Structure 1
Amino acid sequence: MEKEHVEIKTPEFVTLRFQLAGLGSRAFAFIIDQLILMMSAIVLILIVYVIMFGQLHYRDYFGFSYMPIAIAIILLFVMQWGYYFAYEYFSGGRTIGKKWMGIRVIQENGHSLTLLSSFIRNLIRIIDSLPVSYLLGMIIIFFHPKHKRLGDIVAGTIVVYEKSKKRKKKASTLEKEIERRGLLKENLMIEDWGKNALGMEEWKLVKVYGHRFLELPMLERKQLTEQIAGILLPKIGIDAEGMSDYDLESTLLLLYLRLRDEWEYEL
């Protein structure tokens, strides 16, 4: 089951092939995440214990309150649910356990996980955990053809293996240029409508640009940058008019970083 694949056709009629993550890898990722949550819970319980123990000595002066216990219970619930929701949305579909196992959650159409999908997927986790130890979720994953639990079915998501982190020699030159400019993907904010306008074709275009522009003579490099920027930047609401050649190049490299995480898989 671990070797099964799923094919996704994009609106640009490009077929993407992902290797599905099966029950084994997902279970190990879950165990790692639960160990992290367990250690966090132990720390929280110890803090509450110290607070409650301190109250026994000073209750004649300050009274005695069960409020720390109530707060701890609420925090434990928020940690258990919020950990998966926050990590999967803000870390590209990866919790610490998933990152360790080399898997991630994506939309069934091949796009990155959205805020709504992450919310729904992890809200249904409460049902998947029934009756004990995620038994229902594991049974559904085992029998579902795409290894989905109930949360995946409702949210329209799948769990896939990530691409190997190996880079070609040319890519290392590009990475050095990106590092030299101090560019981080977080520097480019894209609205949801802009993300929807970017697909596999846009990724292929900006990828070719990134691997070629440093090798070109300055005149050809300027022409290529203006041409690619004129195609891609309007799709995310950026007006390229008046921008310097350096700023145009940096913006396209930021777009490269953003799209790389979404589209560069082991296909």
Structure 2
Amino acid sequence: MNEDQVDIKTPEFVSIQFQIAGLGSRSAAFIIDQMLLMVINILSLIVLFFVLDGMSELEFIMVGNSLPIAITIIALFIVNWGYFFVFEFFSGGRTLGKKFMGIRVIQENGHSITLLASFIRNLIRIIDSLPTAYFLGIIMIFFHSKHKRLGDIVAGTIVVHERKAKRKKKQSPFENEITNRGLSKDNLSIDEWTLKSLGIKEWKLVSTYVHRFHQLPLAERNQLTIQIAEVLFPKIGLDHAGKTTSELENILLVLYLILREEWEFEL
């Protein structure tokens, strides 16, 4: 089945086009993830074997072999289910397999996957795996118009191909500015929760600022820098007071670098 494209209109009335990930790329990503989990499962069972083998006769009588086995089973369930849940939320909708295949999970409105959506999506993974070998999930993905499994339908998510940032042969004025100032994403630390609270409105504000950075006279640019800092800094837990205009510019430029990975892309 050919991989289709879908137009998503965000709550901010911005239309974004995505290429839907089909059965092939999703299956490959899932196989990679399962191979990683299989290694973890095998290592856990080996550890369990040595624990049971190393128990003295007295320990075996007092504790029995049921407790280590029960702990291992619970731990493996948490790891095998939590792997997808944690990676998809904290890694922008990407497990290691999805990242390798260049696909990711997003909300139907184009935003990053939420904590609740990730929880529901992966909880229903248990149903999608029925009756065996992910049969139900494969059938759903193959026949659904947007290649959704049951977990995607209930959680309101969709799996799409990554959008790669535009590559230019020559550095843009912004890139030259970043290089000359010696700036990088590491210059600004923003926790995952705060980053996810910044939506397309904040992105368009900082993006507009960056693209007008070299077009404005110095006095107007300084005034715009202060105005945008007053709007954005409280949202990322920073105080603009006491900072020079140059320092404010540096922070806004780095903030653009961080947000660009999420919002500036092309098919």
Task: Provide TM-score, normalisation by structure 2.
Answer: 0.84
Match of 1:65 in 2: 64
Quickly say closer, same or farther: Cα 1:257–1:123, change in 2 above 3 A. Answer: farther
Query: Structure 2: how far apart are the matches of 1:202 and 1:227?
Result: 13
Query: Structure 2: how far apart are the matches of 1:156 and 1:122?
Result: 12
Listed as ranges, the matches of 1:220-259 within 5 Å are 220-233=220-233, 240-259=240-259
Quick check: 1:222–1:245 contact (8 Å CA) kept in 2?
A: yes
Quick check: 2:183–2:250 contact (8 Å CA) kept in 1?
A: no
Query: Structure 2: how far apart are the matches of 1:69 and 1:210?
Result: 57
Quick check: 2:5–2:17 contact (8 Å CA) kept in 1?
A: yes
Residue 88 of structure 1 aligns to a residue in which SS? helix
Report the AA paired with residue 186 of structure 1: I
Query: Structure 1: how far apart are the matches of 2:28 and 2:161?
Result: 14
Match of 1:85 in 2: 85
Residue 190 of structure 2 aligns to a residue in which SS? helix
Query: Structure 2: how far apart are the matches of 1:11 and 1:72?
Result: 44
Quick check: 1:18–1:266 contact (8 Å CA) kept in 2?
A: no
Quick check: 2:210–2:256 contact (8 Å CA) kept in 1?
A: yes
Quickly say closer, same or farther: Cα 1:258–1:187, change in 2 above 3 A. Answer: same
Query: Structure 2: how far apart are the matches of 1:116 and 1:132?
Result: 26
Quickly say closer, same or farther: Cα 1:253–1:51, change in 2 above 3 A. Answer: same
Match of 1:39 in 2: 39
Q: Deviations over 1:29-63 (max 9, x none)?
A: 000000000000011111011111112xx214664
Match of 2:265 in 1: 265
Report the AA paired with residue 259 of structure 2: L
Residue 16 of structure 1 aligns to a residue in which SS? strand
Q: Deviations over 1:102-136 (max 9, x none)?
A: 00000100000111110011011010010111110
Quickly say closer, same or farther: Cα 1:16–1:85, change in 2 above 3 A. Answer: same
Residue 187 of structure 2 aligns to a residue in which SS? coil
Residue 213 of structure 1 aligns to a residue in which SS? coil
Residue 54 of structure 2 aligns to a residue in which SS? helix
Report the AA paired with residue 64 of structure 2: S
| Residues 1:213 and 2:213 aligned together | yes
Segments of structure 1 that go 5 or more residues without pairing to the other structure are none
Quickly say closer, same or farther: Cα 1:162–1:143, change in 2 above 3 A. Answer: same
Quick check: 2:90–2:192 contact (8 Å CA) kept in 1?
A: no
Quickly say closer, same or farther: Cα 1:165–1:84, change in 2 above 3 A. Answer: same
Segments of structure 2 that go 5 or more residues without pairing to the other structure are none
Report the AA paired with residue 65 of structure 1: G
Q: Which residue of 190, 196, 206 corresponds with 2:194?
A: 190
| Residues 1:13 and 2:13 aligned together | yes
Residue 17 of structure 2 aligns to a residue in which SS? strand
Question: How far apart are residue 222 of structure 1 and its match?
Answer: 1.9
Question: How far apart are residue 12 of structure 1 and its match?
Answer: 3.1
State the superposition RMSD in angstroms.
2.9
Report the AA paired with residue 187 of structure 2: L
